[in-house]
Structures are given as structure tokens and as C-alpha cells.
Amino acid sequence: MRAVPIAVTALSALLLLTACDDGGEGGKSGQPKKGACAIDKVSMEVGPASVAPAAGDTGEVPVGFTNQSAECTLDGFPEVRLAGAGDSETFDVPPAEGARAQKLTLAKGESASFTLTYVRGPRGEGAFDAKNLHVVFPSEAGDPSTRVFRWSYGPVAGDGDGGFEISVGAYQKVGD
């Protein structure tokens, strides 16, 4: 009877996987998983960018960071927002179509990055005149922490459906 050994193996695997789960929620829920990378524990920079020179052109803005503390993890997609003048108007940047999130573990001194891809829009005419880029990480207290960078890459084109032509790629490990 082969059913019993297969059932026992499957049950054992399920128990092992359950034992690895800390019960925390990652991502945008506000509750980081144990060991999640914290924004105050990484150095971060935006650029250099491949700026879209004119309306209708596509540009890419990389965001890189290096873990400055104990080993930590990144899980899910980066959480980023664009904001207008005075941060009065903001919107969440969606993940790139077809992109797959991955879980990364960064030791102290290791780096990762993600890229924003956008289409430059004409001033006005349904484009978003972005002024700031907000990069959000979960914090150990459960409240998100944000770093703000100046957006100097021009307005972001509207997509015709009330959104904008910008997306964020998955976290990628830098180097070996």
C-alpha cells in the first residue's frame, strides 16, 4: 500500500511548513514579518535615472539600498507613492504587469534595488505633476516608515482610465 507513506510524507511536509510560519503578515497590511528590513536600517538612493526626455517617452528610475544592520528580509513588492506639490495629492504606484514578487534575504552590507518605469506626460492634459517619491517600508512598531525623494523626471502620463502610466518592478538582489 503506497497511500500511507505518501500521506505521511505529505503530512510531515505540511507540519514543517507550518512550523516555519511566524504568523505575521507582510506587505501593505502594516504588520511586518519578523526580520523584515526596516527603512531606518538601510541606506537608500534614487537614480541615476534614464529620464524620459519628452512627452510619450519611457523612463526608468532605479531605487537602490543597502542593509546596514542585522540580516533582514524583503517580501512582496516595493510600496511606493508619487505625490504632487505639498504632498496634498498622492497615489500608490502599482506593480509592473507580469512582474513576480520574490522574497529576498539581505545580510548586513548586501544590496537590493527596484525600478520604476514611467511614461512622461505633457504638462497638464491629464498628466500627474509629481513632486515627490515616497518609498515605504514596514517598521518594527507596525506603522509604515517613509523616505521621501524629490521627483525631477517630469510629469507622469495619464492612462486614460483615471490612473497613470507608471509601475514598480520587484525587488532584485544586487551583486552576487
Is residue 156 one of the residues assigned to a domain? yes
pLDDT of residue 143: 60
Q: Are 105 and 79 spatial neighbours (Cβ–Cβ below 8 Å)? A: no
Secondary structure (DSSP) of 119-150: EB--SSTT-B---EEEEEE--TTSS-EEEEEE
117-160 tens-digit pLDDT? 999 999 877 899 999 999 998 665 556 688 999 999 999 999 88
10-37 tens-digit pLDDT? 333 333 322 333 333 334 444 445 588 8
Is residue 94 one of the residues assigned to a domain? yes
- The pTM (predicted TM-score) of the whole model is 0.75
Q: Are 69 and 108 spatial neighbours (Cβ–Cβ below 8 Å)? A: yes
Is residue 73 one of the residues assigned to a domain? yes
pLDDT of residue 67: 93
Residue 35: domain span: 26-174
Is residue 13 one of the residues assigned to a domain? no
Provide the number of structural domains found in the chain.
1
Is residue 31 one of the residues assigned to a domain? yes
CATH of the domain at 133: 2.60.40
Is residue 15 one of the residues assigned to a domain? no
Is residue 19 one of the residues assigned to a domain? no
